[in-house]
Amino acid sequence: MPVPKNANSAGFKAGLAMRKKVLGADYVERAIANADFLGMPFQEVATEMAWGKVWTRPGLDLPSRSLVTLAMCIALNRPNEIKIHLRGALRNGVTLLQIRELLLHSFMYCGGPAALDACATVRAALPEIQAAEKAAAKAAKSSARKAPPKKAVKSTRKTATKK
């Protein structure tokens, strides 16, 4: 995997952890690995600033941040970002009912065409996202079963005795 220039900064590290938590490690690692000369600076800035400085702030929980982000992507009519953040929203605990209501709400405030396009994007993306999440859960369960049992570590610390 290519190494971003700012990979050792605290903001990048925090952003990478948050980004993987929300979008899934598979997506994030693939995005960074596939970044080229043009794309790597975007990966660096997005990971450090958006994910490391904004998504990690207190004040909004992750489901709320996901809903707000989806709403903005709908308003801007950004189907690729809707797809990405739809996965994040579901991983953050946003329900399909909440997503449906967000789409309906956006119909009134963003306009019919943007909301209908977003609805089509969500409808098309959901099966793929659900299958990917199911596969990831199955892989995690399988790897947890295959992991060797942890050995007890003997303490080398001396204990004080009373005199």
What would the DSSP string read from start to end of 16-58? Answer: HHHHHHHH-HHHHHHHHHT--TTTHHHHHHIIIIIIIIITT-S
d(CA 55, CA 63): 11
Residue 31 lies in a domain: yes
Last residue of a domain, one of 57, 87, 105: 57
The burial class, CB within 10 Å (0-12 / 13-18 / 19+), for 65 is buried
Torsion of CA 148, 152, 157, 161, to 10 degrees: 180
3-state secondary structure of 158: coil
> Tens of pLDDT along 14-57?
999 999 999 999 999 999 999 999 999 999 999 999 999 999 99
CATH number, residue 108? 1.20.1290.10
Phi-psi region of 59 (alpha: psi -120 to 50; beta: other; left: phi over 0): left
Residue 12 pLDDT grade (very low, low, confident, very high; cuts 50, 70, 90)? very high
Residue 40 lies in a domain: yes
102: containing domain: 60-131
Last residue of a domain, one of 57, 74, 96: 57
pTM comes to: 0.81
Residue 143 lies in a domain: no
- In the chain, how many domains are there? 2
Residue 106 lies in a domain: yes
Residues 28 and 78 in one domain: no
> Tens of pLDDT along 45-100?
999 999 999 999 999 999 999 999 999 999 999 999 999 999 999 999 999 999 99
